[in-house]
A = this chain, B = another copy of it.
Amino acid sequence: MPHPEKTHADLLIVHGDVFTMAGTGSGYIEDGAVAISGNSIVDTGPSGSLRARYTAARVVDASECAVLPGLVDAHVHSGIALLRGVAQDSPSWLASLAPFVNAMSLDALQAGTMLTVMEGIRAGTTTFCDNSPGIAHSLPFYEKSGARVAASPLTSDAMPAGGPPNARLPEFSGEMRAFGLLETRDLIDRWNGAAEGRIAVQLGPRAADFCSEELLIEIRRLSEKHGLKVHMHLAQDKRETEQVWRRYGVRPVGLLERMGLLNERLIAAHLIRCTPEEVERVARSGASMAFCPSSLLICDGILPPADIFMDAGGTVGLGTDETSSNNGANLWSEMKAGCLGLKMKRADAAYMPAWKALRMATTDGARAIGLGHEIGTIEAGKKADIILIDLTRPSLVPVMRRPVRNIIPNLVLSARGGEICLSIINGSIVYENGHMTRFDEGEAMGFISKAAEEICRGAGREAAETRTAPFVMTENGEY
């Protein structure tokens, strides 16, 4: 029955503990509601008020649920997700990973994206800032799954170097460069703004040691021409710092500065080989930082300097990096790891409070990847990327609202991801009652298993010959 006096919405979420993340805090609304029309949020406020003003095709009762903006994974390489757990606990993660990377097919890259999206959405991620080789082949799955993605290829024109590490500088290949730029331009033409606006294309030069000056110049031009973010590793390892120094006589941050890339369009991942002064310089340039605590601790035993970056006024997003290093695509794990790691580094229990971690995974993350105008908060006019979290799960009980509201510290430090009960992206329900709504998970899992089996077969000889650390631990019966 129509209500002529009421506005019609497609979806009305009522009676939730709504954290809009708007403003400078958590934007809490007790017994809160959100009205969604099409792909956008049209209103928020107390449930009573919204129920009086809206009718809706579907009303979701969010009693005993937290209602949050969907989480933003600010740095992820979904393509290599199938290599989960094969290179941990190694002196060199990259060397242990190599036999498996060398056994990968295009199917395996697509399967990796499927796995990351399944794991991520189940754990509340709605946007993936995905920098992956072969990303063009994974975008049809992103389109189908309903997820939001800021996609960039992993572009490089450095030839694989033989001999011992750092023996000589790799040469750059004009052919690789041309192909990389072709791939990038094609991505922009075909995909930027596609899937009802859920797909944004970014530029993805791998790192300063993997890209010639010529390539970086072209990247800058494309970035300026199309107004695109440049999603790039920066000072991520010793090799990069050493090679850039030998080649150009500057360190990586200095090189990006010289190339005109150190600015508000840059999303800089990791920064672990920066001096504190360099971290501050990157932050002051307006570039954002992708902070991936678990991944860098597992691969290098180093916590990225997110504290210095934030203290210098920079915007930090949280990233899972990839399941092959992390070992998961779960931002709740990153929120906790980020809080614990920074409290430990600063020897200060009050540093990095839970609400700041939650901002990092929502509004700050959205701004960090250049989508702050569209997502990251629950506000009228934003795209409707919203998750509901079941607060009756043992990991989140009891819920207290006064004298202390304990929901955020419990979400950040105790939620496991499995408490997510509903996920909405671009106004559409993509996950509900334990199931993805837009694709067949069983079929995806079959595809993933097959690709993983092929990797195992292909990697066997090289892993045995190079005796990677995990291979030895497997042989010793420790793994």
User: Residues of A at under 8 Å CB distance from B?
Assistant: 23, 25-28, 82, 84-86, 88-91, 93, 99, 115, 118-119, 122, 293-294, 297-303, 323, 326-328, 330, 333, 336-337, 339-341, 343-355, 392, 394-395, 397-410, 413-414, 416-418, 445, 448-449, 452, 455-456, 459-460, 463-464, 468-471, 473-474, 476-479
Contacts and interface: CB of A to CB of B under 8 A. Distances in A.
B86 A343 contact: no
Given A340-B340, A340-B341, A413-B328, A354 B88 contact: yes
* Chain B CB within 10 Å, residue with most, of A99, A344, A349: A349
A63 to B, nearest CB: 13
A400 B122 contact: no
* Chain B CB within 10 Å, residue with most, of A339, A350, A449: A350
B328 A403 contact: no
Nearest to A476: B25
8 contacts: A84-B406, A89-B354, A298-B413, A301-B351, A326-B414, A328-B413, A333-B336, A409-B479
A90 B353 CA distance: 9
B414 A84 contact: yes
Contacts of A352: 89
B460 A350 contact: no
A85 B330 contact: no
Given A395-B330, A409-B470, A340 B298 contact: yes
Nearest to A398: B452
B88 A353 contact: yes
Contacts of A416: 328, 330, 333, 416-418
A397 B473 CA distance: 20
Contact of A479 (B405, B456, B469): B405
B409 A88 contact: yes
Given A293-B340, A404-B470, 19 more contacts: A84-B397, A85-B410, A86-B404, A89-B352, A90-B350, A99-B403, A119-B394, A300-B349, A301-B346, A301-B347, A328-B395, A328-B414, A341-B341, A397-B448, A397-B452, A400-B452, A404-B459, A404-B479, A406-B479
A355 B326 CA distance: 16
Nearest to A357: B89
B343 A341 contact: no
Nearest to A91: B350
A385 B343 CA distance: 35
Nearest to A28: B477
A110 to B, nearest CB: 14
Report, nearest first, the 5 A-B pairs whose CB atoms are least far apart. Answer: A85-B406, A398-B452, A89-B353, A418-B418, A403-B463
Nearest to A458: B403
A246 to B, nearest CB: 24
Given A91-B349, A299-B349, A403 B477 contact: no
Nearest to A419: B418
A290 B261 CA distance: 49
Contacts of A347: 301-302
A225 B340 CA distance: 42
Nearest to A456: B400
A397 B301 contact: no
A1 to B, nearest CB: 36
A119 B344 contact: no
B343 A298 contact: yes
Given A477-B25, A478-B25, A344 B404 contact: no
A265 to B, nearest CB: 30
B340 A297 contact: yes
Contacts of A474: 402-405
Contacts of A455: 400
A258 to B, nearest CB: 30
